[in-house]
Amino acid sequence: MSEMKRLAAEKALEYVEDGMIVGVGTGSTVAYFIDGLARIKDRIKAAVSSSEQSTERLRAHGIEVQDLNATGPLSLYVDGADECDGHRRLIKGGGAALTREKIIAEASKTFVCIVDPSKQVGILGRFPLPVEVIPMARSLVAREIVRITGGQPVWRDGVVTDNGNWILDVHGLAITDPVGMERDLNQIPGVVSVGLFARRPADVVIVGGEPPVVL
């Protein structure tokens, strides 16, 4: 699958325009995108990063990383996903970076999602849904998730997000109403963000292959 990820990432480079400040996601697919971006780094102004991991890789390539508060709205955000449905709605957060990813997606005019074919599903939920929670609310949020969704939340023990929070992965879901579930889970006190990207889905999904497929 890594070659499929690389092919999707290479295709996404076509969306980068001269002088852009590029929003950059997190994960192994995005790592290929960052490596590609390094080849054209003289054409871009800077990047905004969704994680410490991506910041490190960007800086290692000599790409300047700017604060979103300083840049204002972005033209382009490129990120991967754990699942993608036919409406370009996503599950994200396998790498625990969902909150910053959601912030940058919201701030961006065009969100290009890069995936390998294994990420495509009919109904979201086979991949356990990540939810970032304030640590003291972990049990409360888990009980509410069971009540609202019927799914089984599992604490991603030992993982602390870049924001100092914890992750619950919700198993056993078949998400037939992604927008409704995203809204309902966001209401639980202690939830920082939900790894469903349905209210603000991707604008373009590139599925790696020869040739890549653009949805």
CB nearer to ligand 5RP: pick between 21 and 97: 97
Q: Tell me: does residue 95 bind ligand 5RP (CB under 6 A).
A: yes
Is the Cβ of residue 79 or residue 169 nearer to ligand 5RP in the bound state? 79
| 98 phi and psi angles, rounded to 5 deg | -60, -35
Minimal distance, residue 179 CB to ligand 5RP, in Å: 19
Residue 192 and residue 165 in contact, taking contact as beta carbons nearer than 8 Å:
yes
50 and 79 in contact (C-beta within 8 Å)? Answer: yes
Question: Looking only at Cα atoms, what is the longest distance across the chain?
Answer: 51
Q: Two tokens at 172?
A: 């056993």
Q: Minimum Å distance from CB 77 to ligand 5RP?
A: 11
82 binds ligand 5RP (CB under 6 A): yes
Selected from 6, 11, 92, 156, the binder of ligand 5RP by CB under 6 A is 92
Q: Residue from 4, 63, 74, 81 that binds ligand 5RP (CB under 6 A)?
A: 81
Among 17, 52, 64, 101, the active-site one is: 101
Candidates 96-104, 154-162, 167-175, 182-190 — which segment interacts with ligand 5RP by CB under 6 A?
Answer: 96-104
User: Residue 120 carries which DSSP code?
Assistant: B
- Letters for 129-158 (x = contact with ligand 5RP by CB under 6 A, - = none) are ------------------------------
Residue 27 and residue 94 in contact, taking contact as beta carbons nearer than 8 Å: yes
CB 136 within 8 A of CB 142: no
How far, in Å, CA of 215 to CA of 207, rounded? 8
Contact 83, 91 (CB under 8 A): yes
Span near ligand 5RP by CB under 6 A; candidates 12-20, 38-46, 77-85, 133-141: 77-85
Of 80, 75, 5, which Cα lies nearest the Cα of 46?
75
* 101: annotated active-site residue: yes
- CA-to-CA distance for 192 and 161, rounded, in angstroms? 11
The binding track of 20-49 with respect to ligand 5RP, each residue x by CB under 6 A or -, is: -----xxxxx--------------------
Which pair of structure tokens corresponds to residue 202?
Answer: 């991707």
**How many residues bind ligand 5RP, per CB under 6 A?**
17
Binding positions for ligand 5RP, rule: CB under 6 A: 25-29, 79-82, 92-98, 101
| Catalytic residue annotation | 101
